[in-house]
Chains A and B, each alone.
Chain A
Amino acid sequence: MVQTSDSPLLDPAHLARIEDLILLAKVVVNGNFFGLHRSRRQGHGNEFFQYRNYELGEDLKNVDWKVYAKRGELVSKTYHKPSNANLMLVLDASASMAFRGPSSPCSKFRYAQMLAACLAYLAHRQGDRIGLLGGSNGSLRWMFPSSGSESFKSIVSGIGSMVPSGSDMADGAWHKFKANLPAQATVVVISDFLENEEKLKERLSFALSPRYDCLCVQVLDPTEEDLPEADALRFYELEGVREVSVSPARIRALYRNRLGVHLESLSSIMASTGCLFTTVRTKDDLGHGIRRFLGMRGVA
């Protein structure tokens, strides 16, 4: 059963039907988090923001004389103030992310896509520069942080075009990512974190620096935590060729125990690297992950 959401607009079962990720992000953010995040600051910049009434003493170069000629009112143009904040989204597109349990509204990867798009929109609204690293060991997508509407559209398009396949990203990709990180950045890693936890310390070592904030969002499917209901199944792994025939009912307790140990281990690793760590389920509403992000940014 789908858990009750804060708002129907955050329910993954509904949101998963929206193909356009930009629209989805606007629906989620504007409908549920309006006022909970910092808006773009006005200032001197190149991107037009809005008109406002001219105030006496204000520099006359801000007056829009064309409006004055038409309407006889003095209005000033305001501009976005450029932001120095950077958001780096790291999206795991390995084959295991394609898993969708029998009762789940969407796959783990679709959930991760939706969450990443929402975070990107939030950052875009704040005028942050947004970058993207996504993919797997087979295909990799790398976009340097940049700002602006076109950049936002490119980022969301990149998120939407990824297809889960292969295994986890290779170490080389992580080295390149760390080497090209901006001087300051907020990094959000969205993955299921089911493999290679022993490498996380090295991969997330940048988070130890005070210049970086890192949020690791683990996306799990409820079926992964409880195993499917069946007398006997032949499990085969999505990222390999191994198969095993088991009775889920007979190993469920042991399985939960092992998974729990793994999650505790992950938490420990994240804490040791200074990363915030949170686990979301594909049946959870998107607000959980977004609030965790806003909390990290000190907005919410």
Chain B
Amino acid sequence: MMEFGQPLALWTGLALGLPVLAHLAYQTVSQRFAFPTLRFLSFSTIPRSGRRKPSDWALLLLRLLFFCALTLLLADPHWTEPDDPRQESFSISECLIVLDCSPSMGGWGGWEEGVRYARSLLRSDDQSRIGLLAIRDGTLAEWSVGTERSDLALALEELETQSSPWGIQAMIDRGADLFSPHASEKRMILISDFQKSSWQEVTGSFAERGIEVELVPVGHGDDPWADRSGNQAVVDCKASSLGSGKVRVWAALRNWDDRVAERVVSVFAGGESRQSERITLPPLGTEQVQFVLSSDDFAQAVVRLEGNDSLATDDNQSLWILPPAPKSFGFWRQPADNPVDLMERQFLGAAIKSAGDGVWMRWRENEDGADALRAGGGMPSLDFLMIVGLSGWFEDEGLSDPLLSYLNAGGTALITPPEDSYVRMNRALREPKILDFSFSGKKRTAFPMDPFRIDVLPENSSLAKVFSGDSSRDLYLAQILQFLEVEEGAGARVPLRDRSLRPLVLERSFANGGKLVFLAFRMLPEWTDLPLRNAFLPLLVELCSLDQSSLESGGALRMESGEKTELGQVVFHAKGKGLHQVENQRIEVVHPLIESMPELMKPKELREAVSGRRLLQPDKIPEDDPALAKASLPLWPWFALSAVLLLLVETFLSTPRSSLISHKEAPRA
């Protein structure tokens, strides 16, 4: 049977009257007549003799057929095989409840209201088959359409508001697929507070797929679509060291209401309120507050807004206030004090100590640890070892074994060359198989004004990611006055070269994350001006993998609930607010700021967003369903062909032939 994708277009069939009217009301002067002169002719009205009867039945019939074909073409006709009579007589009504579980639903009583509405649907006498789509344990949870209502009621009891990487869009997309293709009625009930931050990017095409959407706003009070008010939030917290065992706790508080709010903010540590302060929050404004606590007693603190407001989950925020344990570094150098070694040691030590975020002391020199490692006394807690001026003394003292043990245990070491005895240096590293490379000489610039330069960093290298823009320009301007000409061996990589592609830095990885970095030049003014440049510290940090930039206040990683991150071999999933520690990494999970925003979507915007542009009948067969598309044969090409042929014939018939112009009477069409 023939069906139409655009049945409304059949109304254009009224245009069938046009050719009839044209025949009845007008006579087209289509015949031209050549005449010697028009000077004696005058304008005249054209007689409408056709009013009495159509004068050309064939032409009229052709035009009627043309408009019929055009009308059917516009209506998007399809030929579909008749359905199974048993299916036709069996009417299926399906209903899917989509429950928004975002944290904003926890405020303004939205969650309770939503669950209550869902329960009422389950208790109703409606014979529809019902399904449920929600977020459970941070993932998309679905109960297929047709699940027992008692099971759905139990599932509702287990649900709670939570953050999840699965947003509303994922629920919308998945929900459209849960309906069976033969359902005669498909209804999706969206229960949400329709907070703008969650819904503004949502798009759907339910109208095209024949799904009827019902919007159920919850948590809005008496006016279902009014903006919400009465919420203040702790939007940010930070802790910083004040020295002398003191730590400053700073908090930013936001008033989402359009009225002034008076609130008391307190900081809790060790289960007790340590300090409180009354603040006045301006309408839709932000206020800051600071507390000074002793950092020795407590590792954690909570900044809390006292009292209740519309959304309780954003009224407090936890943070780490105990400084993280600093990492340690140490030096190995030749026993005798060498001014050059001492100067390089000073350069490197100062640089590493400054490799923090200015809040907590991140690196601490541990000379005893370095000496203990040198003496072979166990495995001290030393995160970074720098060996300056490695030469024969390294071999004489038999330090290769302690160094290898240290590297294989996951330690990081940096080696700089000596002022002389390069062959012994090479042997000391190559023979114990610490680093395989060959040494061919020392390159020294002939003219100080024409130094060696660092070559362009390879794309996608870790160094290239750090050095971009001005920082890369500073690095490329660095002067290398002299360096050792080396050739990497097996297992060694070259992260940095000069412009003649000679290695400037060699590195080798060891088991358990250990890393050895060998510089072909010394960090001294006679060798390079790199220690005097801004690029020095980031280059050193990146080469030795000392990057700490991802750490937030108190050395903690700040995450929003629902996010995931990789910490070494562990994947951490931030499910709920609070403080966590994974291995040595401290983590603060905070409430997503956007969930506190009170703006809501307007119903018209929502309906347009989820329904799509076209408003079709609910039982329209989805075009992208391959199983059903096979049974539906589009007929529009045939109607298009018919319309074109009819138009051509009509044009041929209605055009006066040239031989008739002067000799025969004109046709009256």
With contacts A102-B664, A230-B666 taken as known, whether A195 is within 8 angstroms of B39 at the C-beta atoms is yes
A242 with B36: CB separation less than 8 A: no
> Is B46 part of the binding interface, using a Cβ–Cβ cutoff of 8 Å?
yes
With contacts A243-B32, A247-B45, A250-B45 taken as known, whether A233 is within 8 angstroms of B39 at the C-beta atoms is no
Per-residue B-contact encoding for A89-105, CB less than 8 Å = 1, 0 else = 00000001101111000
The chain A residue sitting closest to B46, CB to CB, is A232
Least CB distance from B361 to A in Å reads 97
With contacts A229-B665, A246-B44 taken as known, whether A194 is within 8 angstroms of B33 at the C-beta atoms is no
Interface size class of A (residues with CB under 8 A): 35 or more
Per-residue B-contact encoding for A66-108, CB less than 8 Å = 1, 0 else = 0000000000000000000000000000001101111000001
A254 with B42: CB separation less than 8 A: yes
A247 with B31: CB separation less than 8 A: no
> Is A228 part of the binding interface, using a Cβ–Cβ cutoff of 8 Å?
yes
A233 with B44: CB separation less than 8 A: no
> Is A198 part of the binding interface, using a Cβ–Cβ cutoff of 8 Å?
no
The chain B residue sitting closest to A261, CB to CB, is B40
With contacts A231-B27, A233-B666 taken as known, whether A238 is within 8 angstroms of B36 at the C-beta atoms is yes
CB contacts (< 8 Å) of B40 on chain A: these are 255, 258-259, 262
A99 with B35: CB separation less than 8 A: yes
Least CB distance from A200 to B in Å reads 15
> Is B447 part of the binding interface, using a Cβ–Cβ cutoff of 8 Å?
no
Question: How distant is the Cα of A231 from the Cα of B34 in the complex, in angstroms?
Answer: 16
Question: How distant is the Cα of A135 from the Cα of B98 in the complex, in angstroms?
Answer: 91
B46 with A245: CB separation less than 8 A: yes
Interface of B: prevailing SS: loop
CB contacts (< 8 Å) of B46 on chain A: these are 231-232, 245-247
The chain B residue sitting closest to A108, CB to CB, is B36
Per-residue B-contact encoding for A239-254, CB less than 8 Å = 1, 0 else = 1101111110111001
B34 with A232: CB separation less than 8 A: no
Per-residue A-contact encoding for B379-406, CB less than 8 Å = 1, 0 else = 0000000000000000000000000000
Question: How distant is the Cα of A245 from the Cα of B666 in the complex, in angstroms?
Answer: 13
> Is B658 part of the binding interface, using a Cβ–Cβ cutoff of 8 Å?
no
CB contacts (< 8 Å) of B41 on chain A: these are 235, 244, 246, 251, 255
With contacts A247-B45, A251-B41, A251-B42 taken as known, whether A231 is within 8 angstroms of B35 at the C-beta atoms is no
Question: How distant is the Cα of A239 from the Cα of B30 in the complex, in angstroms?
Answer: 21
Question: How distant is the Cα of A29 from the Cα of B665 in the complex, in angstroms?
Answer: 37
Q: How many A-B residue pairs have CB under 8 A?
A: 103
Least CB distance from A233 to B in Å reads 4
B33 with A238: CB separation less than 8 A: no
The chain B residue sitting closest to A249, CB to CB, is B47
CB contacts (< 8 Å) of A55 on chain B: these are none
> Is B43 part of the binding interface, using a Cβ–Cβ cutoff of 8 Å?
yes
CB contacts (< 8 Å) of B27 on chain A: these are 231-232
With contacts A102-B663, A231-B27 taken as known, whether A236 is within 8 angstroms of B44 at the C-beta atoms is no
B664 with A234: CB separation less than 8 A: no
B37 with A195: CB separation less than 8 A: yes
> Is A264 part of the binding interface, using a Cβ–Cβ cutoff of 8 Å?
no
Least CB distance from A110 to B in Å reads 14
> Is A171 part of the binding interface, using a Cβ–Cβ cutoff of 8 Å?
no
With contacts A233-B29, A245-B46, A247-B45 taken as known, whether A238 is within 8 angstroms of B39 at the C-beta atoms is no
B47 with A242: CB separation less than 8 A: no
Question: How distant is the Cα of A233 from the Cα of B668 in the complex, in angstroms?
Answer: 10
Q: Which of B31, B32, B36, B662 contacts A194 (CB 8 A)?
A: B36
A247 with B47: CB separation less than 8 A: yes
> Is A224 part of the binding interface, using a Cβ–Cβ cutoff of 8 Å?
yes
Least CB distance from B52 to A in Å reads 13
Least CB distance from B170 to A in Å reads 68
A231 with B43: CB separation less than 8 A: no
> Is A192 part of the binding interface, using a Cβ–Cβ cutoff of 8 Å?
yes
> Is B38 part of the binding interface, using a Cβ–Cβ cutoff of 8 Å?
yes
CB contacts (< 8 Å) of B655 on chain A: these are none
> Is B273 part of the binding interface, using a Cβ–Cβ cutoff of 8 Å?
no
CB contacts (< 8 Å) of A230 on chain B: these are 31, 33, 665-666
> Is A202 part of the binding interface, using a Cβ–Cβ cutoff of 8 Å?
no
The chain A residue sitting closest to B665, CB to CB, is A230
CB contacts (< 8 Å) of A20 on chain B: these are none
> Is B280 part of the binding interface, using a Cβ–Cβ cutoff of 8 Å?
no
Least CB distance from B45 to A in Å reads 7
CB contacts (< 8 Å) of B29 on chain A: these are 232-234, 245
> Is A6 part of the binding interface, using a Cβ–Cβ cutoff of 8 Å?
no
B44 with A96: CB separation less than 8 A: no
Least CB distance from B637 to A in Å reads 38
CB contacts (< 8 Å) of A228 on chain B: these are 33
> What are 8 A-B contacts with C-beta separation under 8 Å?
A96-B37, A101-B662, A194-B36, A234-B31, A239-B36, A245-B29, A247-B44, A258-B40
B binding-site residues for A, Cβ under 8 Å:
27, 29-47, 49, 662-666, 668
Given contacts A237-B35, A255-B41, 10 further A-B contacts (CB under 8 A): A102-B664, A194-B39, A224-B36, A233-B29, A233-B31, A235-B32, A236-B32, A244-B41, A251-B41, A259-B40
